[in-house]
Amino acid sequence: MTVAGDLPERRERRRGGWVTRLIANPRFQQWASGFPLTRGIARRDGAEIFDIVQGFVQSQVLSAIVELDLLHHLADGPEAPTVLARRAGMAEDRMAILLQAGAALGLFKRRRDGRFALARKGAAILGVPGLEAMIRHHSAFYADMADPVALLRGQGDTELARFWPYVFGAAAEMEPEVARRYSDLMAQSQGLVAQDVLRMVPFRESRHLLDIGGGSGAFLAAVAARYPDLRLSLFDLPEVIPAAQGRLTQAGLTGRLTLFPGSFRSDPLPEGADTISLIRVLYDHDDATVTALLAKVHAALPPGGRLIVAEPMAGGASPERAGDVYFAFYTMAMGTGRARSAARIAELCRAAGFADIRIPRSPRPFVTSALSCVKNG
């Protein structure tokens, strides 16, 4: 049917609409779930939808497992629900439910004798530096996600906004002890980030690397270990510098290193480095702050100097689970930043004067993606 004044896009939407209406029809669903050529798709879709529906229960089961230290207890060997229940101060039948849930999630293995052992994925969690601490701090994120519509509407304060005070320029009021705790959480999770950045970005041609927002220096330490001739500089808020000094001194890097306390909002960036890195920095900030920071980075680099940006990124034209679900809502709850796609970061870098933009394929987008670009010579 053609309707006078009908817009082509409206016609296209209606054409697409019949497929949607068919799939949303319970009678079609019943038929498709039995018909040999469609039942595989229907069942798979059903299971995947259910996984989304119960996602929050899965992560809360994981949270209980971490809170009760079950991964560590089972790392010593298989254990019976009775023993673990007594340890956790709960009824045996409740502990059995938790263990069974952990086994269903592939974290534990249920043995014939009724005891539970750690499965491969449960053991792997123990080996990921900082992952348990990250899971523990999710109590704040979980509280913010309790009313997702209120979060989307920007109503009310969020727990995560209080969790990372440095982002809000509250560093001046931050106790050194508190600053150390945040830096530790970031530093622990830096292990995997550094591994993946080093896989994606070669530093062979760099002579001097300045890591801006470098935290307690975990990234610099990892790069330094791989590139022994590289000079190192780190720029971060004054409260964070003592942690960097401690770590990098312990790593024996003082001879190759300069530490710069300061804020990239108000202070000039140090010059002299031919490579600057921004690791998990941009996604904490809004576009205006990022634009100003990239302009400062551009000014601080010599012609031909290189910028490396690494952080979890959104998928842009191809939506991506870690970037567009977890990190998009995480940064929304923090209130100041956003997860950006590599294409958007590239656009901001181009606007700051950078060229030769490269976006390597990330092996683990949930850990980090990366982008490099060059100041025109």
Ligand X SMILES: C[S@@+](CC[C@H](N)C(=O)[O-])C[C@H]1O[C@@H](n2cnc3c(N)ncnc32)[C@H](O)[C@@H]1O
Ligand Y SMILES: CC(C)=CCC/C(C)=C/CC/C(C)=C/C=C/C(C)=C/C=C/C=C(C)/C=C/C=C(C)/C=C/C=C(C)/C=C/CC(C)(C)O
* Residues of this chain that bind ligand Y (CB under 6 A): 120, 124, 128, 131, 134, 164, 189, 280, 283-284, 330-331, 334, 366-367
Q: At closest approach, how far in Å is the CB of 200 from ligand Y? A: 16
Work out which of 122, 165, 214, 337 binds ligand X, going by CB under 6 A: 214
- Nearer to ligand X by C-beta: 210 or 342? 210
- In angstroms, what CA-CA distances link 186 with 71, 160, 201? 22, 14, 21
* Residue 122-161 contact track with ligand X, rule CB under 6 A, x = bound: ----------------------------------------
In 3D space, the residue among 118, 76, 123, 115 whose CA is nearest the CA of residue 96 turns out to be 115
Tokens 């086994």 — which residue?
A: 103
Residue 353 CA, distance from chain mean position: 27
Cα torsion 266, 181, 178, 285 to 10°: value is 30
- CA–CA dist 155, 144 (Å, integer): 11
Written as one letter, the residue type at 12 is: E
Cβ atoms of residues 234 and 279 within 8 Å: no
Q: For ligand X, which residue has the nearest CB?
A: 213
- CA–CA dist 240, 224 (Å, integer): 20
Tokens 């009775």 — which residue?
A: 82
Work out which of 163, 166, 203, 327 binds ligand X, going by CB under 6 A: 166
- Nearer to ligand Y by C-beta: 301 or 322? 322
Residue range at the interface with ligand X (CB under 6 A); choices 1-9, 85-93, 234-242, 301-309: 234-242
- Nearer to ligand Y by C-beta: 107 or 374? 107
Is 196 one of the binding residues for ligand X (CB under 6 A)? no
Stretch 251-290 residues interacting with ligand X (CB under 6 A):
263-265, 279-281, 284
- Nearer to ligand Y by C-beta: 236 or 284? 284
- Nearer to ligand Y by C-beta: 164 or 231? 164
Binding partner of residue 190 among ligand X, ligand Y, none, CB cut-off 5 to 8 Å per kind: ligand X
- CA–CA dist 19, 25 (Å, integer): 10
Written as one letter, the residue type at 316 is: G
Q: At closest approach, how far in Å is the CB of 262 from ligand X? A: 7
In 3D space, the residue among 322, 328, 330, 304 whose CA is nearest the CA of residue 369 turns out to be 322
- CA–CA dist 273, 231 (Å, integer): 8
Is 176 one of the binding residues for ligand X (CB under 6 A)? no
- Nearer to ligand Y by C-beta: 5 or 127? 127
Give the three-state DSSP class for 70.
helix
Is 236 one of the binding residues for ligand X (CB under 6 A)? yes
Binding site residues, ligand X, CB under 6 A: 166, 186-187, 190, 193, 213-215, 218-219, 236-237, 240, 263-265, 279-281, 284
